[in-house]
Amino acid sequence: MDWNYLESEEGLAALNKKSADKPQVIFKHSTRCITSSMAKNRMDNSKQLLDKADVYLLNVIEHRPVSNLVAEQFGVTHESPQVLVIKNGRAVYNENHIGIQPAMIALEL
């Protein structure tokens, strides 16, 4: 996966603006969680998302305030791992833990 990194409030604002033209995918990842590592591996091996969306990795340990802002702004309860699809400034899909499947995400794009 050719990740973009979501590390700031400004980055989130830019992502939100870009969602008007192209779907944006946020993958919230914890480096301390084996389930998160497994979900990240599934995402890493998925090329089908790259041509349809911009894909962002958000490290929830290092960037907890941004992770909290994502939950607040898009009205989703924080989970880790978690994936969100953002279109037109709204979360149109979210999934967490073992439910994170790139093929299912691609259907939402």
Task: For the domain covering 4-107, report its CATH number.
Answer: 3.40.30.10
Q: Where are the domains of the chain?
A: 4-107
pLDDT tens per residue across span 23-55: 999 999 999 999 999 999 999 988 778 789 999
Q: What is the pLDDT of residue 13?
A: 98
Q: What is the pLDDT of residue 49?
A: 84
Cβ pair 53, 85 in contact under 8 A: yes
Give the distance from CA 30 to its chain's centroid. 12
Q: What is the pLDDT of residue 25?
A: 97
Give the distance from CA 50 to its chain's centroid. 13
pLDDT tens per residue across span 53-72: 999 999 999 999 999 999 99
Please state, in angstroms and rounded to a whole number, the distance separating the CA atoms of residues 23 and 16: 9
Query: Does residue 81 have a cis peptide bond before it, meaning omega lies within 30 degrees of 0?
Result: yes
Phi and psi torsions of 68, nearest 5°: -65, -40
